[in-house]
Amino acid sequence: MFDFTRAEQALEGLRKLHIGTDRDAEVATHIKRLLAKDGQGNLIPVAKRTPDLGETRGFMLTGEPGSGKSHLVERTLRKLSVLQPREDGTPRCLQSSVPSPATFKSMILQLLKESGYPNANPRKENWSLVQDLRYRLELLEISVIWIDEAQDLFCAERKFILRALKSLMQGDGAVAVILSGTEELSEVIRSDSQVKRRFTAMTLPGMVEQVDGASFQTILTQYCQRVGLDEPHAPDLIGRIFHGARYRFGRSIELLLMAMEVAIDREEAQLTVDHFAVAYAMNESCGASENVFYAEHYWLIETDPKAEERSPRGRKRNR
């Protein structure tokens, strides 16, 4: 008899599971090159500087929402022992998403707060707050700053923010800067040649069924085995999952987990297309005719019209 209680527990375990890919090693390479090394070649918690100008470097990771970029950076930083907090809890790396409202001042105030700075004065001029942050970074010997969803930061005050980024990567107490966000972030950074040359970049590509389909099928099979569900038998299921998830890895995994949750809640021991359809409808609030798991020609459904031109397709269909 199928144990649905155990299945629920196993599903929660899957939610915490990290699926390693080649992208992990690539992100780690980018981030490790931001740090200096000792005489034995070991990484140390100091931002590496260029030999000519003594400036630090940065890394920019871009991808569409749901591609898994934030998780990749967070996990990489967590695995780097040299960036873990000191014994007294003092951080070596500051991490923050862009706060709301997304202004330059709110971002600096948030970073000051993350550093443990007490009672930062929001009435101060922007550049005065930057100097407070620089002093704080040098005092705590912080080597890396990571700003997530950084594209939101450049909606206004773009030139001022770019200038501040350059400032944080120069002089005493300079830090390495990691930015993650959507393609809009890449466009902003490329608009300033001085900032662009300081950053290496990586883009998380969309998934393609011919390239990624087999590996995702393996993930689906292993997930079902861990939970105890019988896996579904539908020849075009992977294509439907990819299309419904906008060809993004993180969203594909979320859709798979949600479909499994539907099956367990219904106490049905086999995962089916219907469970995926229910999960998709819950996310998209769509009818059956617009559900990629029910529509015969699912590839014609525009799941995200604004991004339709950018979505990589695993198959080319004749209309």
Per-block mean pLDDT, blocks of 10 residues, the chain (319 long): 86 90 92 96 95 91 90 94 92 91 88 88 90 92 94 80 89 93 91 90 93 95 96 94 94 96 95 97 94 95 64 45
Q: Which residues pair with 177 in a beta bridge?
A: 58, 145
Cα(155)–Cα(193) distance, rounded to whole angstroms?
Answer: 19
The fold for domain 33-203 equals: Rossmann fold (3.40.50)
Q: How far apart are the first and last CA of the chain?
A: 46
Per-residue pLDDT, 62: 95
Cα(41)–Cα(32) distance, rounded to whole angstroms?
Answer: 12
Cα(190)–Cα(181) distance, rounded to whole angstroms?
Answer: 14
Give the CA distances from residue 103 to residues 108, 165, 248, in Å, rounded to whole numbers and listed in that order.
Answer: 9, 14, 29
Q: What are phi and psi of 136, to 5 degrees?
A: -65, -40
Reported as half-sphere exposure (CB side, CA atoms, 13 A), residue 259 has a value of 28
Give the H or E element holding residue 201.
Answer: strand 199-203
Cα(261)–Cα(253) distance, rounded to whole angstroms?
Answer: 12
Per-residue pLDDT, 19: 87
Cα(237)–Cα(228) distance, rounded to whole angstroms?
Answer: 19
Per-residue pLDDT, 202: 95
Residue 94 has which token pair?
A: 């500051």
